[in-house]
């Protein structure tokens, strides 16, 4: 079985460790070159679907617009076996309206056409009051378009998931407070999560577009080893307090790789409890026109100003982020994780661990900020500031870098094309 390589992240406030995805057999990670001072490095290398995204599941059913997708999913789930842990339902191009929640089942993958023209069109309605509080089982009760609850080896591939296209566009001038509101135009029933995984393991979103959601476009809750790869997540009608999140909550070993995230409120990594710790979540090669927000015991810190903060490996913390002054402030300036070649013989930045030289799973990436420039000024990138040397204090490192919202502004041009996975990954797709 061919699988993409795993990835990991470590380092300072301005460095991210990443890999270039390839469809190869995933080797066993050799711990020999790892720095023993940072034992969590090998844990981070295990983020995402266990052993990588599989590529050899069989296509067992085909769907066209008008078919009962829930019935197809249920029938396909009944035919799975330990020998074949998942099977694929191939969706032809077209629009698939959903007026009720679509429940994913273990061992079932929905795959659309390779050009993204298979569209799941969410037409549900839900109110804030109906979803804000947790139910008897301890999980929130948001109205949801597509949910994988207590499932494994379930996924969405090559699909566009969009909310009711008959609605007026949401406010998207995102450097203005007026965009960060709830119930736009007085419409109070748009509180619908687009895609949600709850109590899931080894599930994935691959080459999907999650657009114009009612509230949270993606919610990963109390789950482990979920991958969101080569996907676009953009826009939400509700972007005020408690709304419009790419929400990773009480989850571990989540891998977010090669995504474009824009025109929502936050990418949030938050919450933990004794049963569901929030740790070893990895974000690499992402273009984020929003901030990453850490909250409520996620084993990381968020700076008190709009500054870059980082938890070094070994602390159970999270990757670099631009955080707002308050946890519910509109997003801070855009951040881009862009691949860069390793600085060959150059020593690592002062105060960081040595970079291993032999593992297959990383290439350094440099984080760059997009400066706010006059319209007549060509686009430019600021040099990456030098990292200050952290103290011996083992608590998460906090950068001294700071800037005001008048110095920088997010850019909301059309996102760059999403990552392309080699054609060998879709050997079973005929679309």
Q: Is the dihedral of CA 67, 226, 191, 263 positive or negative?
A: negative
C-alpha 146/C-alpha 8 separation (Å) is 28
**Both structure tokens of 176:** 């203005």
pLDDT band at 174 (very low <50, low <70, confident <90, very high): low
- Which of the residue ranges 93-97, 170-174, 193-197, 300-304 would you say has the lowest mean pLDDT? 300-304
Mean pLDDT for the stretch of residues 277-306: 68
C-alpha 193/C-alpha 409 separation (Å) is 28
C-alpha 17/C-alpha 319 separation (Å) is 10
pLDDT band at 125 (very low <50, low <70, confident <90, very high): very high
Does the residue 190 lie in any domain? yes
Q: What is the DSSP letter of 186?
A: G
- Give φ, ψ of 131 to 5 degrees: -125, -10
The whole-number pLDDT of residue 89 equals 98
pLDDT band at 128 (very low <50, low <70, confident <90, very high): very high
Strand, helix or coil at 255? strand
Q: How many Cα atoms sit within 13 Å of 95 on the Cβ side?
A: 9
Given a cut of 60, whether residue 339 has pLDDT beyond it is no
Does the residue 431 lie in any domain? no
108 with 57: CB under 8 angstroms? no
Given a cut of 60, whether residue 10 has pLDDT beyond it is no
230 with 23: CB under 8 angstroms? no
The whole-number pLDDT of residue 288 equals 83
196 burial type by CB count under 10 A (0-12 exposed, 13-18 middle, 19+ buried): buried
Q: Is the dihedral of CA 143, 300, 225, 21 positive or negative?
A: positive
The whole-number pLDDT of residue 76 equals 96
Residue 327, Cβ neighbours under 10 Å: how many? 15
Does the residue 388 lie in any domain? yes
The whole-number pLDDT of residue 350 equals 42
The whole-number pLDDT of residue 284 equals 86
Strand order in the sheet with 287-288: 15-18, 363-369, 335-339, 287-288, 260-262, 232-236, 209-213, 160-163, 118-122, 94-98
The whole-number pLDDT of residue 70 equals 98
321 with 294: CB under 8 angstroms? yes
CA 172 to the chain's CA centroid: 20
| Residue-number span of the structural domain to which 134 is assigned | 3-426
The whole-number pLDDT of residue 182 equals 93
Does the residue 293 lie in any domain? yes
**Both structure tokens of 231:** 């996907």
- Output the CA angle 327-139-239, nearest 5 degrees: 35
**Both structure tokens of 43:** 């844990």
Does the residue 193 lie in any domain? yes
Ranges 63-77, 269-283, 325-339, most confident: 63-77
The whole-number pLDDT of residue 175 equals 53
Mean pLDDT for the stretch of residues 389-412: 28
Mean pLDDT for the stretch of residues 306-312: 26
Q: Which comes out higher in pLDDT, residue 8 or 52?
A: 52
pLDDT band at 107 (very low <50, low <70, confident <90, very high): very high
The whole-number pLDDT of residue 405 equals 27
Does the residue 417 lie in any domain? yes
**Both structure tokens of 292:** 């990453």
CA 264 to the chain's CA centroid: 12
C-alpha 105/C-alpha 74 separation (Å) is 7
188 burial type by CB count under 10 A (0-12 exposed, 13-18 middle, 19+ buried): middle
SS (H, E, C) 2-34: CEECCCCCCCCCCEEEECCCCEECCCCCCCCCC
- Give φ, ψ of 34 to 5 degrees: -75, 150
pLDDT band at 428 (very low <50, low <70, confident <90, very high): very low
User: Which pLDDT tens digit goes with each residue over 48-90?
Assistant: 999 888 878 999 999 999 999 999 999 999 987 877 888 999 9
Strand 155-157 versus strand 201-206 pairing type: parallel
Beta bridge partners of 90: 62, 111
**Both structure tokens of 252:** 């571990």
Given a cut of 60, whether residue 233 has pLDDT beyond it is yes
C-alpha 302/C-alpha 322 separation (Å) is 8
Q: What share of the chain is helix, strand, coil (3-state, %, to 5)?
A: 5, 30, 60
User: Which pLDDT tens digit goes with each residue over 365-384?
Assistant: 333 333 333 443 333 443 43
- Which of the residue ranges 140-144, 152-156, 274-278, 343-347 would you say has the lowest mean pLDDT? 343-347
pLDDT band at 101 (very low <50, low <70, confident <90, very high): very high
pLDDT band at 336 (very low <50, low <70, confident <90, very high): very low
Given a cut of 50, whether residue 1 has pLDDT beyond it is no
C-alpha 20/C-alpha 379 separation (Å) is 26
Q: Which comes out higher in pLDDT, residue 296 or 11?
A: 296
**Both structure tokens of 29:** 């990670």
The whole-number pLDDT of residue 147 equals 98
- Which of the residue ranges 45-49, 244-248, 295-299 would you say has the lowest mean pLDDT? 295-299
Longest CA pairwise span in the chain (Å): 62
214 with 190: CB under 8 angstroms? yes
C-alpha 207/C-alpha 229 separation (Å) is 6
pLDDT band at 28 (very low <50, low <70, confident <90, very high): low
The whole-number pLDDT of residue 7 equals 38
Given a cut of 60, whether residue 431 has pLDDT beyond it is no
Q: Which comes out higher in pLDDT, residue 335 or 29?
A: 29
The whole-number pLDDT of residue 272 equals 82
Looking at the 3D structure of the chain, how many domains does it have? 1
Ranges 127-136, 350-359, 402-411, most confident: 127-136
Strand, helix or coil at 299? coil
Residue 315, Cβ neighbours under 10 Å: how many? 18
- Which of the residue ranges 170-179, 205-214, 348-357, 414-423 would you say has the lowest mean pLDDT? 414-423
**Both structure tokens of 240:** 């005020």
Q: Which comes out higher in pLDDT, residue 304 or 369?
A: 369
């Amino acid at each position: 079985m061919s699988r993409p390589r795993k990835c990991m992240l470590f380092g300072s406030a301005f460095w991210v460790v990443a890999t270039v995805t390839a469809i190869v057999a995933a080797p066993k990670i050799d711990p020999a070159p790892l720095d023993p001072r940072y034992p969590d490095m090998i844990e981070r290398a295990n983020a995402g679907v266990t052993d990588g995204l599989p590529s050899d599941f069989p296509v067992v059913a085909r769907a066209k617009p008008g078919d009962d997708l829930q019935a197809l999913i249920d029938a396909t789930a009944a035919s799975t076996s330990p020998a074949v842990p998942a099977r694929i339902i191939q969706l032809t191009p077209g629009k698939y309206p959903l007026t009720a929640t679509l429940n994913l089942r273990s061992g079932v993958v929905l795959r659309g056409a390779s050009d993204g023209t298979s569209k799941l069109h969410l037409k549900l309605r839900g109110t804030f009051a109906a979803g804000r509080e947790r139910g008897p089982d301890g999980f929130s009760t948001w109205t949801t378009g597509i949910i994988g609850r207590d499932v494994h080896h379930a996924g969405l591939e090559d699909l566009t998931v969009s909310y009711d296209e008959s609605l007026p566009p949401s406010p998207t001038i995102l450097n203005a407070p007026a965009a960060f509101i709830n119930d736009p135009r007085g419409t109070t029933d748009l509180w619908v999560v687009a895609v949600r995984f709850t109590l899931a393991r080894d599930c994935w979103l691959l080459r999907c577009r999650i657009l114009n959601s009612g509230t949270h476009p993606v919610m990963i809750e109390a789950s482990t080893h979920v991958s969101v790869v080569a996907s676009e997540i953009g826009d939400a009608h509700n972007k005020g307090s408690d709304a419009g999140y790419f929400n990773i909550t009480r989850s571990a070993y989540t891998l977010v790789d090669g995504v474009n995230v824009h025109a929502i409120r936050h990418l949030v990594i938050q919450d933990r409890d004794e049963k569901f710790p929030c740790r070893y979540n990895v974000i690499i090669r992402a273009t984020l026109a929003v901030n990453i927000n850490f909250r409520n015991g996620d084993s990381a810190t968020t700076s008190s100003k709009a500054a870059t903060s980082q938890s070094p490996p070994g602390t159970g913390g999270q990757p670099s982020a631009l955080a707002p002054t308050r946890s519910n402030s509109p997003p801070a300036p855009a951040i881009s994780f862009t691949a860069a070649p390793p600085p060959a013989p150059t020593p690592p930045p002062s105060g960081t661990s040595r970079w291993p030289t032999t593992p297959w799973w990383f290439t350094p990436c440099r984080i760059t900020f997009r400066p706010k420039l006059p319209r007549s000024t060509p686009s430019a990138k600021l040099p990456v500031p030098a990292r200050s040397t952290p103290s011996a204090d083992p608590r998460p490192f906090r950068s001294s870098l700071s800037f005001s919202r008048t110095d920088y502004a997010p850019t909301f041009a059309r996102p760059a094309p999403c990552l392309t996975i080699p054609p060998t990954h879709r050997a079973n797709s005929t679309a």
